[in-house]
Amino acid sequence: MHKTAVPPSTEPDKDHSINDSSDSHSQIPRRDFIKRTSLALAGSAAASSMLLPTRRAVAAGPTEITFASAKFFGKQTIADIAESYNKAQDKVRVMYKELPPPSSSTEVHQQLVQQLARRNGEPDVFTQDIIWIAEFADAKWALPLDEYFNSDAMKDYFPGMVQACTWQGKLTALPWFVDSGMLYYRKDLLADLNARAPETWDELIDAAKQLTSSGKSKLGFLWQAKQAEVLVCDLVSFIGSNGGSILEPDGKTVRIAEEPAVEAVQLMHDLIRKYKVSPEDVLSWDEEPSRRPFTGGDAVFLRNWSYVWKVAQNESESSVANKVGVAPLPHFPGKKSAAALGGYQYGVNAHSKNREAAIDFVRWMSSPETQLQFALQLGLCPTRPSVLADPKVGQEQPFMRQLKDVFVGAIPRPVTPKYPQVTLVLQSQISRALTTGEVKAELAAAKAKIQTIVAA
Ligand code: GLC
């Protein structure tokens, strides 16, 4: 049994992680707050001394809108990008409210739901994980955007993204960035074996076993099995790589207890317990704890999102810079590689009192120019093919072009307004299957629970 030398840390990765676990805090700079407050005071004082209606004083300034998003950052933060919008025009002023990072998916979701359910128009604009689009649309919290972005305008995005942003025929989210799971591997270690990046799980197991038993690598394959959203992402790719699925696109037919899924979850279990190529620690790891031993030079393979690419290449952060390759995740014999579709998209609050301003802001945020900034400054893969084709993206993030098919072909997690309940069932039943080894029984239980949820 391999135990990692790097214990899962709760310390946030300050420099890079878009999936870290640091605290959220508001991003409104203090000086701006003071400036705005004093302006407002001056405005109302002037208004009352001149006996002007206050509404006129307010109407003269920019329309203020609030924008809530999970925390992402690289060379720049979302607050920086929102500030560029504020500087670029004077009609709208965005106040940014930072939520927890995307790896704390449940917490981000909870905070957004609490705000949106009040139906008071706050926040005017939000970003939503791809898995909440159906729920927010069904609850009528997300404004349908078709009248602002017609089908011609939407032709400039990857069709799969437009589909993911559409619920029951209405566009209720505007594409921001796409992410997908991928396989990071050590080029130098595989070269020692004269091996290429593994295409099947058997090849991965074989290479990991050889390299760990010869002492060339401490650990084999790292992934994420913490009882959290990322476990469902990993699950989707294992099941998909065996030709199976969790829930049919009809949103009703549950396939989690069928043979391809059972075999896939058995493999997840066996990687840890039978083949022993994944350390037991994966059971408590989400993105960052699994990433650290890999960029620390202790493992051959890692499943993770695209943010790892930049971290791995950065010498101050990684002891394996220039030694890391990226490939599609492996598959079962005769089947195809599969990746879980991730990423966040923009939503406009259906109750926003500043609808036009909110639309102006999301239009700018999703524009080719801003998507290019997100790709170059924050490492977020564009949802516009024209931006992905920009040579600057090729230079800065070469793997994005190389893995274009992985991004474009990624498989969505179950698409249903009940997703928050479905994911909790999956997280707990799969965790139990991995620790007890009772794969069939746990998947049968998952099927029964999910059927009840989606039938309600
Ligand atoms: C990434 C994905 C997101 C997913 C999350 C899980 O941030 O973009 O879709 O839910 O990871 O941790």
> Whole-angstrom Cα distance, residue 443 to residue 29?
49
343 within ligand 1 shell (Cβ under 6 A):
yes
Distance of CA 129 to the CA centre of its chain: 6
* Ligand 1 close to Cβ of residue 246 (< 6 A): no
* Residue 59, pLDDT score: 57
CA distance 252 to 250: 5
User: Of the CATH numbers 3.40.190.10, 3.30.750.24, 3.10.560.10, 3.40.50.720, which one belongs to the domain with range 63-179+342-408?
Assistant: 3.40.190.10
Tell me, in angstroms, the distance from the centre of ligand 1 to residue 230's CA: 6
CB of 290 within 8 A of CB of 222?
yes
Q: State the 10-residue block means of pLDDT for the chain, 456 residues long.
A: 34 42 41 41 40 49 97 94 98 98 95 98 98 98 98 97 97 98 98 97 98 98 98 98 96 97 98 98 98 98 96 95 97 98 98 98 98 96 98 96 94 97 98 98 98 96
> What pLDDT score does 292 carry?
98
| Nearest 10 degrees: Cα torsion 338, 72, 124, 34 | 180
The Å distance, Cα 128 to ligand 1 centre, comes to 10
Distance (angstroms) between ligand 1 centre and the Cα of 36 equals: 35
Q: Among 290, 300, 231, 220, which residue's Cα sits nearest to residue 264?
A: 231
Report how far apart, in Å, the C-alpha atoms of 332 and of each of 120, 244, 324, 335, 453 are: 49, 11, 24, 5, 30
User: In the chain, what are the domain boundaries?
Assistant: 63-179+342-408, 182-338+418-455
First vs last C-alpha separation in the chain = 44
Residue range 182-338+418-455, CATH number: 3.40.190.10
To test the pocket of ligand 1, the residue of 129, 130, 178, 380 to mutate (highest count of ligand atoms within 8 Å of its CB) is 129
State the CB neighbour count (10 A cutoff) for residue 208: 26
Residue whose CA is at the smallest distance from ligand 1 atom 4: 342
63-179+342-408 against 182-338+418-455: fold identical: yes
Q: Evaluate whether 33 touches 26 at the Cβ level (below 8 Å).
A: no
Is 285's C-beta closer than 6 angstroms to any atom of ligand 1? Answer: no
Give the three-state DSSP class for 124. Answer: coil
Picking from 163, 101, 98, the residue whose alpha carbon sits closest to that of residue 134 is 163
Phi, psi of 119 (to 5 degrees): 55, 35
Looking at ligand 1, which atom is closest to the CA of residue 286? 12
Looking at 77-178, list the stretches that DSSP marks H as alpha helix, in order from N- to C-terminal side: 78-88, 105-116, 133-138, 151-154, 159-164
